[in-house]
Structure 1
Amino acid sequence: MGTAASINPRIIEGLYCESLVLSDEVRGAFALSGRIDTLAGDDDEVRLALSCEALRTTTRMMHAVAWLLNHRAYFNGELSEFQLRRYGRLTDFPESDPEKLALLPAQTCELIRATERFHARLKRLDNGWREREATAPSAIARLRERLGLAARN
């Protein structure tokens, strides 16, 4: 099994561009001016499903874009690593409700699944980055090690 790629500016920029395209598709799919009535007619259950999934999907993408913007700011020197680690965590989101998805058009369901896959990719990157850095000795541990070496010499 290969090692996970580290997060670097090139990866973040590529993902950021991808997130903007996906976010625009989400916006277009869930632009609700008249869309709910067109899709649902008089079916309240379909209206509710569309509204719930629209909110969940747009929120998922907003958090993904925010995570990417935090990393862009870090690579541009606008955030410290401490700030990024403390405030730049990607939030977990529950997957869509299969019962609600069954009421929606296939094209809308595929877009929702695409946002879930995109978010999962970012989550794996974030977790990998945090785990790799967690195994590295802390600044205090490194200082203690240096002090120990200096005391022996």
Structure 2
Amino acid sequence: MLLRLGRWLRLMGQDVASPKGCSDEEILQKAIDEKRTLLTRDKRLATACLGTGVKCILIRSSRIDEQIEEMAKRGIPLRLDPKRCTICNGPLQEVELSHENIASIEPSEKKLWRCSECQKLYWMGSHWRKIKMKLDDMASRMDLAD
């Protein structure tokens, strides 16, 4: 499973479903039903996509940096774009700073997002700044900088 790649793609604003505990047939059927592109490292699953109408991308690398670079070469922008929850893929909604959520964030942060499905709270703290720096570095190495 490419769960870690899925989280990174969500950080980049992509709508990524990560079916857990599903058979290859169930994963393929979900891709058909939801009209999704299927990402896999499994050659048999990639072969099973042939003739189904499902676009399939066979990810070659097992290393996360190389997987992200593979996606960038296919047109996914290497930039932080807070639209999706990294946990459940739910859409993020910008929310106001309030007494309920202020205790868990850095004092300097002004923008907050909440997942509309699992209610997880996000902000542009040091973790996101490090992720942004990593994506910017990858983009410049690949000569894909905005």
- TM-score, L = length of structure 1: 0.29
Q: Per residue, is there more helix in 1 or in 2?
A: 1
Is the strand fraction higher in 1 or 2? 2
Bigger Cα Rg: 1
- Higher relative CO (Cα under 8 Å, sequence separation at least 6) belongs to 1
